């Protein structure tokens, strides 16, 4: 019978997983085991380091709640979420606006708002108009597209961090017949990732600043088109180049303007961005969304 | 500024971790990120698969409690724990008895028992005598070595699964002046890993049987020697070759005997095994134990 060595144990595990009926699960788990073992062999992981890892992942799981998803935060800070986004974009039927992180603060149940309404309540920050069009890749307007917007307060906190029972700084709009969207908000602020959890412990141990540049999240959907999860990043933020979760990207940086002659509301501070969506493919139905609502993740099956 | 691709994102993450002051943490995290990204690229991980993984790991963390460590179980079923053990053994000063899994059922506070005492209470199973010596690699007896023993009932359940408040099937002995240990127990039974958690969901999806062969755990310590965490596996068990956690190994299989003339208790059913310990090195103080007590993992820092 068997007596394993550090080199033969991997094959023994793969062999025991050989009967997995789902071909994709089998492929993913075999790759996960090979890379996990390669990692442990490369660094010659010791028992105490292994234990430290077990403790760390346990803490990450236990920090998760209906209002917080620490594993998504871990994935974000390790660049995995952005890698998955980037690969997802390469599978689109057409070259559309790029994906950016959904992040842990999206909620399904945001208030439905009318064209031009303000998403922020009781915030003294500077009002900014968000405007532009949602089109296909050839510039044809997508009417009645759903445009969900969410962001921090002008002080850098999401509603879920302030008071989960009071939705704020988020709303769901729809485009008009010309594919136009119009929303009002306040200028969001860059912020630190949650500092009271194990991921923040990791970030501090790595001497990383832990900050995200100021940004506004968008989730845009139109029938027949691939759902777009993205975000716009405010030009001038000092952390555009070293976003702790690798979300900021040059093509998603927007400039706030004070007197844009094209802005639908003359004289307003405004941000203009036109989104393009790729036609959906059959495969899109299976690949899902880049991110998740923690309250859904923790819901009973 | 940056616009990442699936190939450049990894370097961006490594660069952001470049300032990590602890050289070993930096090495481990860099390797973890490279292998994690290589895994995702190899399988072209989709958003919905990524989300499934996040949900799975979250459930694993939330299943952990002071009486249960689902992340250790996950590590065990992926062969990582055995790999870490095997590498640990190669770093010993001397070639001693091999390590086997500590498993999730070890407890620091087991009852101290006298030479020859029975560790099982209120169990109708067959009594078995465990006996042998603890020596250095040259066969010199290690006196007053601590020998912690734990196992399942004769029906295959640990005390923590039956009633965590009532320790049973475990005890701590000490060797005599000739390095001998003597304990009584009942014949343990092979068992399924816990079937109500996410790891069991994974095992079922992989069409693995989920069973461990019958075994008896040992944790042996003597001043100046490397602590030995191991287990003895009962010959004849049908799952010696395909232990779901890859713990069973040919050199740790023992044969129960009915009339071993050398057994200290004449006529008893008995299992004989001599353990050898390696002298400790300075490095051993840092590498720690292969496994952990979940109640310690979840204790506040």
Does B297 reside within a domain? no
Contacts of A72 in chain B (CB under 8 A): 54
Distance in angstroms (rounded) separating the CA atoms of residues A59 and B286: 22
Q: Give the confidence band of A1 by pLDDT, cuts at 50, 70, 90.
A: low
B205–A20 CB contact, under 8 Å: yes
Do the Cβ atoms of B84 and A45 come within 8 Å?
yes
Among chain A residues, CA nearest to B287: A48
Which helix (H) or strand (E) segment is A160 a member of?
helix A159-162
Q: Is residue A287 part of a domain?
A: no
How far, in Å, are A14, A126, B281 from residue B147 at the CA level?
35, 69, 21
CA–CA dist A89, B44 (Å, integer): 12
What's residue A158's pLDDT? 94
B251 is a domain residue: yes
In a domain, A221, yes or no: yes
Residues A209 and A92 in one domain: yes
- Judge if B47 and B165 occupy the same domain: no
Residues of A in contact with B5 (CB under 8 A): 86
pLDDT band at B227 (very low <50, low <70, confident <90, very high): very high
Tell me which chain A residues have a C-beta less than 8 angstroms from the C-beta of B11.
none
Q: Do A4 and B244 touch (CB under 8 A)?
A: no
d(CA A96, CA B174): 70
Dist CA B282 CA A196 (whole Å): 35
My answer on whether A17 and A107 are in the same domain is no
Asked if the structure places residue A60 within a domain, the reply is no
Same domain, B53 and B184: no
Q: Is the pLDDT of residue A296 over 90?
A: no
Domain, as residue range, for B15: 9-63
Cα B225-A55-A200 angle, rounded to 5 deg: 130
Residue A17 lies in a domain: yes
Which chain A residues have a beta carbon less than 8 Å from that of B75?
50, 54
Residues B114, B54, single domain; the answer is: no
Say if B82 falls within a structural domain.
yes
Residue A143's CB is within 10 A of a number of other CB atoms, namely 14
Q: Report residue A301's pLDDT band, with 50, 70 and 90 as the boundaries.
A: very low
* B121 lies in the same domain as B256: yes
pLDDT of B161-192, one tens digit each? 899 899 999 999 999 999 999 999 999 999 99
The answer, yes or no, to whether residue B293 has pLDDT greater than 80, is no
Cα–Cα dist A229/A226, whole Å: 10
Query: What percentage of chain A reaches a pLDDT higher than 90?
Result: 84
- Tell me, what's the ipTM? 0.91
Question: What pLDDT does B286 receive?
Answer: 58
Subunit contact A298:B253, Cβ cutoff 8 A: no
Give the Cα separation of B258 and B267 in Å (integer).
7
For residue B294, pLDDT over 80 is answered with no
The confidence score (pLDDT) of residue A19 equals 96
Same-domain pairing of B55 and B188 = no
Give pLDDT, residue A68.
Answer: 85
> What residues in B contact A4, CB-CB < 8 Å?
82, 86, 246, 249
Indicate which CATH number applies to the domain containing A123: 2.60.130.10
The DSSP line for chain B is -----TTTHHHHHHHHTTT-SSHHHHHHHHHHHHHHHHHHHHHT--HHHHHHHHHHHHHHHHH-BTTB-HHHHHHHHTTHHHHHHHHHHHTSSS--SPP----TT--S-PPB--TT-B---S--SPEEEEEEEEEETT--B-TT-EEEEE---TTS--HHHH-TTS--SEEEEE--TTSEEEEEEE----EEPPTTSHHHHHHHHTT---EE--EEEEEEE-TTB--EEEEEEETT-TTSSS-TTS---GGGEE--BS--TT-SSTT--EEE--EEEPBP-TTHHHH--SS--HHHHTS--
pLDDT in tens, A6-29: 999 999 999 999 999 999 999 999
Note whether A150 and A169 are within 8 A (CB).
Answer: yes
Residue B4 in any domain: the answer is no
Specify burial of residue A118 (Cβ count, 10 A radius: 0-12, 13-18, 19+). Answer: middle
Contact state of A90 with B60 under an 8 Å Cβ cutoff: no
Among the residue ranges A121-125, A161-165, B141-145, B213-217, the one predicted with the least confidence is A161-165
Subunit contact B79:A10, Cβ cutoff 8 A: yes
Instruction: Please tell me whether residues B40 and B141 are part of one structural domain.
Output: no
**C-beta of residue B15 within 8 angstroms of C-beta of residue B21:** no
Whether pTM > 0.80 for this model: the answer is yes
Cβ contact A273:A77 at 8 Å: no
CA of A12 to nearest chain B CA: how many angstroms apart?
8
CA-CA-CA-CA dihedral for B200, B205, B211, B212, to nearest 10: -80
Same domain, B50 and B186: no
Look at residue A93 in the predicted model and tell me its pLDDT. 87
Domain count, chain B: 2
Three-class secondary structure of residue A279 per DSSP: strand
Range in A117-121, A131-135, B193-197 the model is least confident about? B193-197
Q: In terms of domains, do A89 and A17 share one?
A: no
- The reply to whether A166 and A236 lie within a common domain is yes
Taking the C-alpha atoms of residue A109 and residue A182, their distance in angstroms, rounded to an integer, is: 20
Span B10-52, pLDDT tens digits: 999 999 999 999 999 999 999 999 999 999 999 999 988 999 9
Query: Element (H or E) spanning A146, and its range?
Result: strand A146-150
Q: Tell which of B5, B14, B16 to mutate to test the A interface (max A CBs under 10 Å).
A: B16
Residues pairing with A141 in the sheet: A135
Q: What is the mean pLDDT of residues B124-131?
A: 97
Q: What average pLDDT does the segment A134-144 reach?
A: 97
Q: Report d(CA A220, CA A224) in Å as an integer.
A: 12
Looking at the DSSP bridge assignments, the partners of residue B171 are B149
* Claim to verify: residue B25 and residue B135 sit in the same structural domain: no
- Give residue A290's pLDDT band: very low, low, confident or very high (50, 70, 90): very low
């Amino acid at each position: 019978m068997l007596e394993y060595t550090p080199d033969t144990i991997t094959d023994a595990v793969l062999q025991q997983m050989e009967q997995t009926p789902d071909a994709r699960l089998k492929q993913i788990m075999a790759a996960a085991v090979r890379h996990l073992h390669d990692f442990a062999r490369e660094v010659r992981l010791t028992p105490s380091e292994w234990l430290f890892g077990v403790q760390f992942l346990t803490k990450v799981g236990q920090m998760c709640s209906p209002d917080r998803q620490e594993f998504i935060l871990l994935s974000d800070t390790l660049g995995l979420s952005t890698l998955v986004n980037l690969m997802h974009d390469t599978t689109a039927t057409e070259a559309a606006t790029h994906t950016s992180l959904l992040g842990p603060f999206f909620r399904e149940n945001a208030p439905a708002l009318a064209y031009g309404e303000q998403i922020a309540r009781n915030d003294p920050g500077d009002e900014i108009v968000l405007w532009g069009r949602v089109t296909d890749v050839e510039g044809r307007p997508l009417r009645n597209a759903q445009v969900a917007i969410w962001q921090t307060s002008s002080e850098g906190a999401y509603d879920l961090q302030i008071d989960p029972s009071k939705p704020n700084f988020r709303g769901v709009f729809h485009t008009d017949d010309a594919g136009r969207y119009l929303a009002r908000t306040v200028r969001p602020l860059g912020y630190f990732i949650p500092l009271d959890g194990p991921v923040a412990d990791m970030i501090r141990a790595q001497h990383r600043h832990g900050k995200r540049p100021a940004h506004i999240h968008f989730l845009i959907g139109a029938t027949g088109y691939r759902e777009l999860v993205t975000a716009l990043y405010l030009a001038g933020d000092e952390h555009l180049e070293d976003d702790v979760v690798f979300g900021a990207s040059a093509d998603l940086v927007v400039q706030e303007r004070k007197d844009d002659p094209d802005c639908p509301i003359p004289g307003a501070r405004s941000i203009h961005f036109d989104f393009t969506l790729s036609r959906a493919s059959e495969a899109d139905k299976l690949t899902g969304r880049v991110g998740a609502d923690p309250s859904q993740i923790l819901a009973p099956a």
